[in-house]
Structure 1
Amino acid sequence: MPMRPLRLRVLAAAVAAQTVLWGGSAGAQPAAAASPPRPTESPAPPVLNSALDAPLFYQLLVAEFELRAGGAGTAYELLLDAARKTRDERLFQRATDIALQARAGEQALAAAQAWRIAAPASLDALRYLAQIHVGLNRPADALDPLRTLIERTPAAERAAAISLLPRYFARASDLPKVIAVIDQVLQPYTKEEATRVAALVALARMRLHNREADQALALAREAQRTDPGAEGPALVAIELLGSQPQADQLLATYFQAKPRSHALRLGYVRELVNQQRYPAAIAQLEQALALEPALATGWLSLGALRLELKEPAAAEAALRRYVELGAQAPASDDPALTVTPEGQTQAYLMLAQAAESQGRMQQAEQWLLRIDDPAAALSVQSRRASLLAKQGRLDEGIALIRRLPDEPPDAARAKLLAEAHLLRDQRQWSRAYDVLGQAAARFPEDVDLLYEQAMMAEKTDRIDRMEQLLRRIIEIQPDHYHAYNALGYTLADRNLRLDEARQLIEKALSLAPDEPFIVDSLGWVKYRLGRRDEALAHLQRAYQARPDTEIAAHLGEVLWVMGQRDEARRVWREGQERDASNEVLRETLRRFKVDL
């Protein structure tokens, strides 16, 4: 790009310098040029004369040039000198920011201290001082500015100011010391009605940052006892769900007080889905939709969850309601009440899948015809390919996928993966393995492709190759818990190297605590090791979190061999209702000669 003439660059820098000092815009006209007000107009605001004289203007101009040329040190000194001369807070802030951006902590501290002296009433100066002290790992020195900051904040704004404190110090290097300082600052405010909840929630969040889940939960509970309908304690509870099961009760209390708080309930649902607690997520969605039937995102999420749990009829009902809302509902400022084009595309794809799983192929194609989104081309063609495959036209389905363009660059990978999934779903495991081998050769470090290939190696009884691929994944990505779990489960399922299998599964569970399929694997290996009581506890926990057909097969088997045969039949029957074609369940029933 050609450089602008020097005259224009000087003018631009001059405008920037004036904007820093005055807070004005480049298009503002001098006061002398303004037209006198007409009788019908409001009086013009009073003219505020700037402290900017010619030498100071030049000083600011040079500072900006130095900064752009990489001379942050010189720019800092010039701006700090100008700030001291004018006592202008914007110049103090500018000098402090330059030092912070240059990672010059002591210089930033000096500027913030000068700022506080020049403007003793400035809350921003106090906030900067506290953060800089903590950044320099001197949290004790932050006590005075923090205390003064909260004291001087207007009473009407104090609770909001307290709520922001955890955000400022979340990345402190010595969190325990910072927490001790904030405890001292906020203790008086935990006793005042107007600030009690905000102070307790801020203290809870600091414990969360320091991974003190028990203390965070206790503080959130205390805050909720003060105000059951306060949002802060409920938000803390959502963050605690993964480590503190008791957090659910705190959320139940909040929703009793504020049942129509659908935004927070949807956040709760998202976290439940992240933990694969699908039945609990569905229960929350159904409560939200009973109170707010126009909650569009709720219907879409409910449809997706029902489909995941292999309940296509229930999924279809929810997704149809979402589509109907798109045709009926007026525009809303609330995203949760809005049917978006992207959401409609997702709904049509899932409706096609639901219809297909119920054998209604023509209806599935009708849903696909409604999609007019180029970005969804691969998803649409993959679903059409599945329809063809189920009609005995697998090769035609593969051709549909292959005809799609290879651009953008990740399209080729996505096409290969879609083809492999189509073959897998049709139990063409050897062909799927070969396609994934081609994909892995083109993308050798892609752990997703390697994992899919490993699963197809297991299906074709190439256990050595499967283990080789999974260990390669662990080498590339040591925290890939699916790889540990898959290897451990496969060994356990074949009664091979059971102690090693248990260790692999426990490693997976340490990386993904409470993940239902890993808990199922742990229960299965304990069963293989003859530890039936432990196995039963793990499998019941997994099934409660995720009532999957394969987990049902495992749980039913353990119940059966422990003599609880009526309960085993009930669990197997539930699994069969969800997916009668599941091979693990069918093999289990054949082995025990059970006819449901």
Structure 2
Amino acid sequence: MASWHQRLLPIAACIAVITATPAMAQAETKPAAPAVSPLSKDINTSLDKLQKPTAQRARDAADEKIRLQKVTQDANAFAGMLASELALLQGNTAGSLGAYVVMFERSGRPELAERAMQIAINAGAYNEAQLVLERWRKVEPVPTQLQKQMAWELDASRGNIGTALNDFPAVLTLANEAQARRVFLLLSQLSLAGPQVAQQGYEHVMDATKQYPNMSEAAVVEAMYAALSGHDKQAVKALNRLASLDADIRPTTQLAIGLLAQKSPQVINQFFSQADANKLSDMWRELQIDTLVRTEQYDKAFQLIQNELSKNPTPELQLQAGILAMKKKDYRDAEVFLSKVYQGGDTPQRNRAATLLAVVAFGQDQAEKGAQWAAKINDADFLFDKSVILATAAAERKDWVEMRKHLDVLQTSKPNGNSLYDQAQAQRLELLWIYNQQDPMVVYREYSKKIDEQMASGTPDVKLLAELYAQRGLLLADKLKRPEDALKDLQKQLILRPNDANAMNSLGYTLLAQESSREQGFALLEQAYKLAPDAPHINDSLGWAYYLKGQPEKALAYLKFAYDKMPDPEVAAHLVDTYMALGQERKAREFAKKGLELDSSHAVLLETLTRHNLQPKHSAAAVKAQPDAAGVQP
């Protein structure tokens, strides 16, 4: 694309020629002309103008008019482009794209069509990009290199693999550096379509990247196609080149390494095991730790962090160590590292540490400590996380007034690059508040309204829609006693979340209620347990499934694990049923008491105690005051 300053170069050249003319004239050896006075010069010039033919003067005027029109068009185009780019920066993609299309329609300038297509492609608006391309082809029926380049980018972005892999060498031939970088980035995206794509494009990619030995994007493409097509040695070689070219690690490099860690962990592990740690930059050593964490090699990652900390105990490394300790569920070490970050880090690091420490404290049921850490979060960038944490803690206490206060803050703040939580978490909390605060039918209508709004939008938020179906399904099952309708909603949730343990658990647990669907529910719960074996609510569901199958011995281990991790009156009720089935009435009484201490009005618990003739003899306060008698009738 010709830039504005390039279009000014011919003017500069003309000025150079004009200023050179007197010197050239002085160098000539012709006889000197008679001197002419300035006044005579002006008169002669005026006479020449008068003597010019009328047609010539008309042509000069027309040329001048065209020149002025061109200057005006350039000024208008520049102003329009500036306004469109500002709109794009403000998130108004549709407005920016529309403005570029209008400017192209008026001027026919190819650089405007190029920018319009780039905006559309980046936004995933491929139909709009195709329309721009078709209009461009009408203006330039013989495709230029720029037009071919953008047509290829559209094919590659759409996933037209055959065309993209066959045509990219020709596109690269005449591409400038910026265009070549875009080509390689799009080729990287194509490689993720599957190993067959990497195998199909491997030879072409290897030939193409040889022409760009000093371009990090080319090294990324080479590493990905080699790794995903089984050429591990070539992939490691490309990664070594990438480490030397991109010591600071661009976002594209970080993304590529992360993807390779998921799809070809053996290549990444081989690269880091062979690399000389002393020659790797600090950023690459940190990336090595991050890769080990991604592949759940926590012990190796922790060892590397300890080595790095012994050389350079920076707050950033201490922060990584604290996060890793949290992943290992070593909360004591996590507190040690994160407390050091809070004491010695900069403002963002201190706020990140305080946020994580609040999460650790609340996760260990240390509410007061968690609140103290949350109160220390004072950076606006972390306000969203702070509100999520405090709203969640209030929900666990069933303090709905306090929860509402923090939810109101969430409505005026948004997550950012520093956030632990996303908007989906805020939406889940909002739905939870609605669920617990209003009449069941009012809640049902509210959920149904939100579902209808999502479906009518044409582009529903899949996460939110799944959550709405999940919440409405639980409402139908628990409060409205409409199990068949509940199953429909929970099945829709599972379709939207096909590999989600929580979705499997919700549907599986509901299926247990009917004997005809109990085996189907049990199968789903087994799948959920395989995906999340440490989740207490899933352990509770699977334990209850074993109880209903007549296997209380197997049920007991899952239910005890669930209660230890998540003391809950419904889990206590399940343990009462299980211990009674095993003939251990004393243990049943013990969990009856624990359940009542948690919630003396819990419907499931009270129904269970009534069924076993273990109703509370006194109030909840009296139950707590009689530890020996357990507070229940014999």
Match of 2:170 among 107, 129, 148: 148
Q: How does 1:52-201 map to 2 (within 5 A)?
A: 63-69=70-76, 95-101=109-115, 103=132, 104-106=135-137, 109=140, 113=144, 126=145, 128-132=147-151, 146-150=168-172, 163-166=184-187, 187-189=203-205
Asked if the contact 2:188–2:221 (Cα under 8 Å) also holds between the matched residues in 1, the reply is no
Within the alignment, does 1:347 sit opposite 2:353 as a pair?
A: yes
Where does residue 535 of structure 1 map in the other structure?
521
Distance 1:432 1:298 in 2: 36
How much has 1:536 moved relative to structure 2? 3.8
Asked if 2 retains the 8 angstrom alpha-carbon contact of 1:200 and 1:222, the reply is no
1:53-83 residue CA offsets vs partner (Å, 9 max, x unmatched) = xx9999887534213336999xxxxxxxxxx
SS in 1 for 2:354: helix
Match of 1:575 among 562, 576, 580: 562
CA deviation after TM superposition for structure 1 residue 484, in Å = 0.5
- Structure 1: 5+ residue runs without aligned partners? 1-15, 34-54, 74-93, 114-125, 206-215, 241-246, 273-278, 329-338, 381-413
Question: Relative contact order (C-alpha < 8 Å, sep 6+): which is higher?
Answer: 1
Distance change (3 Å), C-alpha of 1:203 and 1:535 = farther
- How many angstroms does 1:320 deviate by? 3.1
Contact 1:458 1:466 in 2 (8 A): yes
Task: Give the Cα–Cα distance (whole angstroms) in 2 for the partners of residues 258 and 379 of structure 1.
Answer: 34
Structure 2 residue 446 is the aligned partner of structure 1 residue 472 = no
Deviations 1:10-62 (A, max 9, x none): xxxxxx9555444999xxx99x99xxxxxxxxxxxxxxxxxxxxx99998875
Q: Does 1:487 align with 2:456?
A: no
1:249 deviates by: 6.2
Once the two structures are TM-superposed, the CA of residue 352 in structure 1 deviates from its matched residue by 4.3
Cα offset for 1:105?
1.0
Match of 2:512, SS state, is helix
Q: Residues 169 and 204 of structure 2 are in contact (CA less than 8 Å); yes or no, is this contact kept in structure 1?
A: no
8 Å CA contact 2:539–2:559 kept in 1: the answer is yes
Could you say which residue in structure 2 is the equivalent of 1:554?
541
Q: What is aligned with 1:118?
A: none
Per-residue deviation, 1:589: 1.8
Tell me how far apart the structure 2 counterparts of residues 343 and 487 of structure 1 sit (CA, whole Å).
39
Give aligned pairs, total. 440
Could you tell me how far 1:292 is from its partner in structure 2? 4.9
Output the CA distance in 2 between the equivalents of 1:511 and 1:308: 27
Aligned to 2:598: none
Cα pair 2:222 2:235 within 8 Å, conserved: no
* C-alpha separation in 1, matches of 2:336 and 2:112: 55
Percent of aligned pairs sharing the same letter: 16
Q: Could you say what the CA RMSD is over the residues aligned between the two structures, in angstroms?
A: 6.2
TM-fit CA distance, 1:483 = 0.9
Q: CA deviation at 1:131?
A: 1.9
Asked whether the 8 Å contact 2:358–2:370 carries over to 1, the reply is yes
Distance in 1 (CA, whole Å) between partners of 2:402 and 2:306 is: 44
> Does the C-alpha gap of structure 1 residues 366 and 487 become closer, same or farther in structure 2, counting only changes over 3 Å?
closer
Q: 1:304 to 1:71 in 2, by over 3 A?
A: closer
Cα distance change on mapping 1:150 and 1:569 into 2, 3 Å: same
Distance 2:554 2:11 in 1: 76
Q: Report the alpha carbon displacement of residue 252 of structure 1 after superposing the two structures with TM.
A: 4.7
Is structure 2 residue 502 aligned with structure 1 residue 517?
yes
Give per-residue Cα distances to partners, 1:152-178, cap 9 Å, x unaligned: 789x999978633437999xxxx9xxx
Paired residue for 1:427? Answer: 398
Partners of 2:485 and 2:448 lie apart in 1 by 14
Which residue of the partner structure matches residue 491 of structure 2? Answer: 506
Closer, same or farther in 2 for the Cα pair 1:251/1:226, shift >3 Å?
same
Residue 567 to residue 227, structure 1, CA distance change in 2 (3 Å):
farther
Tell me how far apart the structure 1 counterparts of residues 207 and 155 of structure 2 sit (CA, whole Å): 31
Question: In structure 2, what is the Cα distance between the partners aligned to 1:200 and 1:373?
Answer: 39
Question: Once the 2 structures are TM-superposed, how far is the Cα of residue 507 of structure 1 from its aligned partner?
Answer: 1.6
Shift, 1:575, TM fit: 3.0
| 1:535-564 deviation digits (Å, cap 9, x = unpaired) | 344334433444222122112222344466
Contact 2:272 2:288 in 1 (8 A): no
Alpha-carbon offset, residue 482 of structure 1: 0.6
Q: Distance in 2 between matches of 1:66 and 1:157?
A: 27
Distance 1:518 1:341 in 2: 39
Structure 1 residue 474 displacement after superposition: 0.9
1:254 paired with 2:262, answer: no
Secondary structure of 2:264's aligned partner: helix
SS at match of 1:97: helix
Cα deviations by residue, 1:443-492 (Å, 9 ceiling, x for unpaired)? xxx99888656534644794333322221221222442111012223444
* Deviation of the 1:219 alpha carbon: 8.0
Kept in 2: contact 1:520–1:551 (CA 8 A): yes
Give the TM-score normalised by the residue count of structure 1: 0.53
The 5-angstrom pairing of residues 407-422 of structure 1 reads none
Mapped to 2, the partners of 1:344 and 1:24 lie a distance apart of 56
| 1:320 and 2:306 are equivalent in the alignment | no
- Bigger mean CA offset, 540-549 vs 132-141: 132-141
Q: Distance in 2 between matches of 1:493 and 1:256?
A: 52
Question: Residue by residue, what CA displacement relative to the aligned partner does 1:100-131 show, whole Å, maximum 9, x if unpaired?
Answer: 45744126746863xxxxxxxxxxxx465232
Residues of 2 paired with 1:537 and 1:283: CA distance? 34
Aligned in 2, Cα 1:193/1:440: closer, same or farther, shift over 3 Å?
closer
Amino acid at match of 2:440: I
Return the match for 2:432 from 448, 455, 458. Answer: 455
Decide whether aligned partners of structure 1 residues 255 and 287 sit closer, same or farther in structure 2, where only a CA change above 3 A counts.
Answer: farther
Cα displacement string for residues 313-335 of structure 1 (whole angstroms, at most 9, x for unaligned residues): x335224314425767xxxxxxx
Query: How has the CA–CA distance of structure 1 residues 24 and 348 changed in structure 2, closer, same or farther, with 3 Å as cutoff?
Result: farther
Which whole-Å CA distance do the structure 1 matches of 2:237 and 2:270 have between them?
A: 8
Q: CA 1:568 to 1:472, structure 2 compared with 1: closer, same or farther past 3 Å?
A: same
**Aligned CA distance change for structure 1 residues 441 and 161 (closer, same or farther; 3 Å):** closer
The letter for the 2-side match of 1:106 is R
Q: Name structure 2 gaps, 5 residues minimum.
A: 21-61, 81-107, 117-131, 243-252, 278-283, 413-422, 456-461, 592-634
- Alpha-carbon distance in 1 for matches of 2:76, 2:208: 52
Deviations 1:138-191 (A, max 9, x none): 99998997433446789x999978633437999xxxx9xxx99x9998754568
TM-superposed CA distance for 1:286, in Å, is 4.7
Distance across 2 between alignment mates of 1:327 and 1:186: 51
Distance 1:109 1:540, change over 3 A: farther
1:527/1:508 CA distance change after superposition, 3 Å: same
CA contact (8 A) 1:485 1:521 kept: yes
Distance across 2 between alignment mates of 1:144 and 1:353: 51
Structure-2 change in CA distance of 1:481 and 1:567 (3 Å): same
Which is higher, the Rg of structure 1 or of structure 2? 2
Structure 2 matches for 1:252-401, cutoff 5 A? 252-258=266-272, 280=296, 286=302, 289=305, 292-293=308-309, 300=319, 314-324=330-340, 340-352=346-358, 354-355=360-361, 367=373, 373=379
